[in-house]
Amino acid sequence: MRVVLAQATARPWLWSFVGAAVVWLAAAAYTGGTGAGGMLTAALSLAVFTVIVGVGQMFVITLGPGNVDLSLPANIGLASAVAMKTMDGQDSLVVLGLLAALGCGLAVGVANYVLIRALRIPPIIATLSASFVIQSVDISYGRGLQIKPPPGFADFTNIIVAGVPLLAVLTVVFTIGANIALHRAIYGRSVLAIGQNIRAAYLAGVKVEPIRFATYALCGALGGLDGALLAGYFRGANVDIGNEYLLSSIAVVVIGGTSVAGGKANLPGVWGGALFLVLLLTMLNTFGVSAGVRLVLTGLIIVAVIAAAGGPKATR
Amino acid sequence: MSLTVSVPARAGSRIELRRLLRALLPTLSLALVVTAIAWLNPRAISYFGFTLMLNLAIPIALATLAQMFVIACNDLDLSIGTFVGFVCCVSATWLHDMPLLGALVLLGCIALYALMGAIIHARNLPSIVVTLGMSFVWQGAAILVLPKPGGAAPGWLHATMSVKPPVVPFPILAAIVIALVAHVLLMRTSYGAILRGAGGNPVAVQRAGWSLLRAKAALFALTGLFGVLSGMALVGITTAADANIGNGYTLLSIAGVILGGGEFVGGRVSPVGAVIGALTMAMAASPLLTFLRIPPDWQVAANGAILVIVLAARVLISQKGTAR
């Protein structure tokens, strides 16, 4: 028991998986075990979208206090519209559409960085202001947009092999790659160094500004990719398609054991946090609570988990 | 906004000038917006015109002050919009039907805000994440209180908000009173100085024997109080409520504080500036854009753009002044 506890304290992200398991068991117990497997499959499918933007948000948050990308929801919404318009319902244009969505997200990320750097405004305000501009562009660009995704693309995002969604497998591969980039590559080490002490990192020769630029661009691009995938999975683009990812992208990062003060990141935790959030919603839906109660409980549980995890001073 | 000024000979006075320009920036932005409106539609500059244009300025000014108290201690409240919406829903239902229960709930909200501040301080939590989570709580609670748009504002609230004083339009009068009260509270009382110190130099405040926990709880309670006032003022104007009514206030309030010369860190805020900033946002948010014939689709973007422009102007003005 003591060994288990010691391991858990050494790896705070384990808690997010424990939380996910508890929530899943509670939901399964309520239904008497029926549909427990299906619940897990559905949770994996949905968690993918949170993980993709969560990874981007994690790199941004790791840059240090105040770094956060609030433009993700608007970014996802716009990219989903761009992807659907470019694909135009034809399977032959899928790759082009994905590239267009990636490019659109990348442009948003670059714009965010330009605002932060040129105007020296805190990232929170820069990305918030940007998100309002992007939202307007999306409303105006995507007005009355009712293009369905190409059937091949829609099927691809919904492939499930032996209860495991293909997208989830691909995302796990992507997360492993991101984990290597974080801990073994110069890029990731630089991000961590900047988050720990930006001045020390600068003096040690870390190229601070290019790394920050790359991080915001990466986060934007991941948001764009997520928008395209979401549009495929839900079979259509929508201005509000990314709305829930404002809170969830930040929440999974924090729940997963990444420090909001920066300089300490955790990738497995993003998966744990995402599964926890999705299963939490599944559980509340299984209990049949109303929309209002669901919102209140989601908010309260997230605040409670974050309060229990504590900030940089509380944990040691 | 090009101001032609003769360049003073001494560097010292140049810094002084920049400082003055910076201090005047909120007033200048407001003057610019009013001038633009006067130029686009001269008839809007009248008692009636201002009453209409500044109709929603009072709740926006109150929400901005609410945000200012949180920003004073280096935090940010991303839930103020949904909180104002929740207060609106409570005011239009319980406060109307059962005034005592309604008043108790609203007081409870202020206590909850104080508790939130205490927890954020005690556990050293990121305020963005906590308030983002709370925004879901308020939104959900608002839906529970008022599932469909409707309800009715208490009569006395509506009567207060539709007072027509002589000569000076009510919103302007109310803004002056609100700004003065907040100014005295935060800038002129000794505990106000402690509260600002908690954001500016927490270590010094703590060494001087003041409880940072209490200061943070007090600032968050003030945020709750002004948030409640904002929601009540809003429902007094609209006479009915909707769970999503306040959602836009989060950006408006942050923009107002920043427009008014506030800084995100260091406890540097200005209540009078914040109210001026809120008036600017209130006028720029819709009357100006309507007169400019900007389609509704792009009004959100225009709000974001205005914020960026003002911040850019501020960087231009204060860049060299603070660097040396």
Letter string b/e over residues A53-78, b meaning 16 or more CB atoms within 10 A of that residue's CB: bbbbbbbbbbbbbbbbbbbbbbbbbb
Count of domains in chain A? 1
How much of chain A exceeds pLDDT 90, in percent?
44
pLDDT of A261 over the 90 cut: no
**CA B301/CA B316 separation, integer angstroms:** 22
Q: What is the greatest pairwise CA distance in chain B? A: 67
Collect all residues of chain B within an 8 Å Cβ-Cβ radius of residue A122. Answer: 264
A250 and B132 within 8 Å at the Cβ level: the answer is: yes
Q: Residue A306 is nearest to which of B125, B147, B304, comparing CB atoms?
A: B125
Task: For B277-314, write each residue's pLDDT tens digit.
Answer: 999 888 877 777 777 777 777 877 887 887 788 777 77
pLDDT for the residue numbered A311: 60
Spatial CB neighbours of A312, under 8 Å, sequence gap ≥ 6: A259, A260, A261, B124
* C-alpha R_g of chain A: 19
Size of interface A-B (CB pairs under 8 A): 136
Chain A residues whose CB is inside 8 A of the B300 CB are 132-133, 135-136, 139
- In A62-161, DSSP assigns E strands to 160-161
The minimum CA-CA distance between A248 and chain B, rounded to whole Å, is: 9
* Band of residue A7 on the pLDDT scale cut at 50, 70, 90: low
pTM, rounded to two decimals: 0.84
Residue A212 belongs to a domain: yes
For residue B12, the model assigns a pLDDT of: 66
> Quick one: average pLDDT of A25-43?
85
Residue A133 is nearest to which of B144, B258, B304, comparing CB atoms?
Answer: B304
Q: Is the pLDDT of residue B6 over 60?
A: no
Question: Which residues in chain A are contacts of B202 at CB distance < 8 A?
Answer: none
Domain spans of chain B? Answer: 42-323
Only one residue has tokens 């009355």, namely A144
A112-152 pLDDT, tens digit each: 999 999 888 888 888 988 988 898 888 888 776 777 889 88
Query: Which residue of A62, A71, A75, A133 is the best one to mutate when testing the B interface, meaning the one whose CB has the most B CBs within 10 A?
Result: A133
In contact, B248 and B81? CB cutoff 8 Å: yes
Q: Which residues pair with A165 in a beta bridge?
A: A160
Q: Is residue A4 in some structural domain?
A: no
User: Which contacts qualify for B199-202: CB closer than 8 Å, 24 or more apart?
Assistant: B199/B71, B199/B72, B199/B73, B199/B74, B199/B265, B199/B266, B199/B267, B199/B268, B199/B269, B200/B266, B200/B267, B200/B268, B201/B267
CA-based R_g, chain B, Å: 20
The tens digit of pLDDT for each residue in A280-312 reads: 888 888 888 888 999 999 899 888 888 887 665
Q: Which residues of B touch A311 (CB under 8 A)?
A: 123-126
B263-272 pLDDT, tens digit each:
777 778 889 9
Q: Is residue A5 situated within a structural domain?
A: no
CB B179 within 8 A of CB B68: no
Residue B3 has pLDDT above 50, yes or no: no
Give A178-235 pLDDT, tens digit per residue: 999 999 999 999 999 999 999 999 999 899 999 999 999 999 999 999 999 999 999 8
Higher pLDDT, B127 or A12: B127
Q: What is the mean pLDDT of residues B11-21?
A: 73
Query: Is residue A265 situated within a structural domain?
Result: yes
Between the CA of residue B222 and those of A238, B67, B111, B127, B185, what are the distances in Å? 38, 9, 10, 16, 10
Q: Which of A66, A119, A313 sits opposite B315 (nearest CB)?
A: A119
Region B101-129 average pLDDT = 92
To test the contact with chain A by mutation, choose from B70, B74, B125, B206 the residue with the greatest count of A C-beta atoms within 10 A, namely B125
Say what the alpha-carbon torsion angle B28, B29, B30, B31 is, to the nearest 10 degrees. 50
Range of A186's domain?
13-309
pLDDT tops 50 at residue B75: yes
ipTM surpasses 0.90: no
Q: Which of A79-88, B2-11, B117-126 has the lowest mean pLDDT?
A: B2-11
CATH number, position A124: 1.10.3470
**pLDDT attached to residue A6:** 62
Domain-located, residue A2? no
B305·A120 Cβ contact <8 A: no
Residue A10: pLDDT band by 50, 70, 90 thresholds?
low
Residues sharing a CB contact under 8 Å with residue A91, sequence separation 6 or more, in sequence order: A150, A151, A152, A153
What whole-number distance in Å separates Cα of residue A146 and Cα of residue A175?
Answer: 32
Whether the pLDDT of residue B37 is over 70: the answer is yes
Predicted confidence at residue B251, as pLDDT, reads 80
